[in-house]
C-alpha cells in the first residue's frame, strides 16, 4: 500500500466537505426562494454536486491500492473538515460538543493509522 493513495482519499474527503459547504450556503441563501429553479438550479447547488461527483472519483481509484479498512477511517475526517469550513466560511460557532467530538474522531484516525508508519 502506498501513502499517496491515502492522501488522495483525504483530498477527496476535503473536496466533498467543500461541496457540503456550498450546498449548505445555498440552503441559507435560498430559504425563502420560490420555484424549483431558484432553489435547486443555482450556482451553489450545481457547483456543489459537481464537486461531490469529482470527490467520489478519488476514492474509487485509490481503493484499488488501499485496504478498505483504511478508507473508512480516512472518510471520517469529513466531520472535522466540515466543522472547520463551516466556522470559516459560514461563521458557525464551534461548540464544546463539536470540538470534543472532532478531537475524538481525529484521535481515532491517528491511532488507527499509526500502524501504517
Distance of CA 4 to the CA centre of its chain: 18
Q: 73, 113 in Cβ contact below 8 A?
A: yes
Residue 117 has pLDDT above 60, yes or no: no
Crossing angle for the helix pair 96-113 and 68-75, to the nearest 10 degrees: 160
Place 14 in a pLDDT band, splitting at 50, 70 and 90. Answer: very high
The pTM score is: 0.84
Predicted confidence at residue 1, as pLDDT, reads 63
Residues spanned by the domain of 46: 3-113
Q: 95, 114 in Cβ contact below 8 A?
A: no
Average pLDDT over residues 66-86: 89
The predicted-structure confidence for 15-58, as pLDDT tens digits, reads as follows 999 999 999 999 888 777 788 777 788 899 999 999 999 999 99
State how many domains the chain has.
1
- Which of 35-49, 75-89, 102-116 is the most confident on average? 75-89
Which residue is it, cell 474522531? 105
DSSP assignment, residue 114?
T
Predicted confidence at residue 114, as pLDDT, reads 73
Predicted confidence at residue 38, as pLDDT, reads 77
Predicted confidence at residue 51, as pLDDT, reads 95
* Arithmetic mean of pLDDT over the chain: 89
Distance CA 5, CA 56 (A): 14
Predicted confidence at residue 71, as pLDDT, reads 84
**CA torsion, ordered 34, 38, 39, 45, to nearest 10 deg:** -170
Amino acid at each position: 500500500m502506498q501513502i499517496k493513495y491515502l492522501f488522495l482519499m483525504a483530498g477527496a474527503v476535503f473536496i466533498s466537505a467543500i461541496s457540503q459547504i456550498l450546498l449548505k450556503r445555498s440552503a441559507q441563501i435560498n430559504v425563502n426562494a420560490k420555484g424549483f429553479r431558484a432553489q435547486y438550479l443555482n450556482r451553489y447547488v450545481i457547483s456543489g454536486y459537481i464537486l461531490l461527483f469529482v470527490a467520489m472519483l478519488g476514492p474509487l481509484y485509490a481503493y484499488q491500492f488501499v485496504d478498505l479498512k483504511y478508507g473508512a477511517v480516512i472518510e471520517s475526517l469529513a466531520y472535522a473538515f466540515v466543522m472547520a469550513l463551516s466556522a470559516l466560511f459560514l461563521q458557525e460557532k464551534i461548540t464544546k460538543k463539536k470540538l470534543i467530538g472532532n478531537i475524538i474522531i481525529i484521535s481515532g484516525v491517528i491511532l488507527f493509522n499509526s500502524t501504517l508508519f
